[in-house]
Amino acid sequence: MKPSHVCSLFALVCSGAVSAQSYVIGVERLAFAPHYSIDAQGQYQGFARELFDLFARTSGVELSYKVLPVEQLLPALLSGQVDFKYPDSETWAPAQKAGKTLSYSQGVVDYVDGVLVAPRHQGQPVEQLKRLAMVSGWTPRGYQERIDAGQIELTYSDDLRQMIRQALRKDTDGAYFNVVVATHYLDNIRARPGALVFDAKLPHTRGTFHLSTIKHPEVLKRFDRFLLEQQAEVAALKDKYRVEANLDSKYMGLEQWKVDFLKRQKAKAATE
């Protein structure tokens, strides 16, 4: 065999190896910053994009992102149109997943879903919550019994922007959503920091986003090792995007300038 043929064969083998390491992550077509969003060119961006890109660079895999409407994402995973789904959880859509064997990564990022209210209403009992704004497709965990009893009326919106607008116009008594995402929207996009605040005294849900797959559990093991071995870099990305900002403190849901002010006041009081 001539050397040129050897090189051609070697290139073909290498090309096949690279192809075997290429995977598609199905992601949501959703404005969910700082976790993730889609830019004007249709590109996936945000914390999740940087995290998965870092995994690809450090683990020798090639990742691409298939952006799909939320309701099409799980069917795409179950039918094999995508290799992975993000975000996902073992507790989501159990009926659709029945009979399927899904694997899940370790937790990627923690979250809290709850109700944001006007500051003057913070701390009021749940009995005062009569009208609740929701984005279509969301489940208001912790409120179903009162909804079924007719004590809470749900008002649905197509997206976060519309839901927040309803709550700010006082069409509803509160808005149920991811606390970090809603606060980010108010602080950075709507430019109304503090107009709505998370009420930790009302029912709320804590959970964790995971990466899921049917066909590639071995890649999830590599991803889990990445989360462990690169935990300093992962933590830096979380800090950069503030995806877990104050989730375990009494400051959860407050804009950062107010958190800093309250911490300074506390530190000053401790020295007096």
- SS3 (DSSP) at 255: coil
Domain ranges of the chain: 20-110+208-241, 111-206
User: From residue 175, how far is each of 24, 132, 147, 158, 180 by CA, in Å?
Assistant: 34, 6, 14, 13, 13
- SS3 (DSSP) at 129: coil
What is the pLDDT averaged over residues 210-230? 97
DSSP 203: -
Other beta carbons less than 10 A from residue 103's beta carbon: 18
Confidence of residue 6 (pLDDT cuts 50, 70, 90): very low
- Encode pLDDT of 14-46 as tens digits: 444 445 489 999 999 999 999 999 999 999 999
Q: Is the pLDDT of residue 100 over 90?
A: yes
| pLDDT at site 267 | 64
Q: Is the pLDDT of residue 193 over 80?
A: yes
d(CA 183, CA 196): 8
Q: Which amino acid is at 170?
A: K
Domain 20-110+208-241 has CATH 3.40.190.10: yes
**What percentage of the chain exceeds 90 in pLDDT?**
72
Q: Which residues fall within 8 angstroms of residue 154, CB to CB, at 6 or more apart? A: 132, 134, 140, 147
Instruction: Name the pTM for this structure.
Output: 0.82
| pLDDT at site 190 | 81
Residue with tokens 């995973």: 77
Give the pair of three-digit tokens for residue 104. 């899940």
Superfamily of domain 111-206: Periplasmic binding protein-like II (3.40.190.10)
What is the pLDDT averaged over residues 86-98? 96
20-110+208-241 with 111-206: one CATH topology? yes
Helices (H), 206-255: 217-229, 231-241
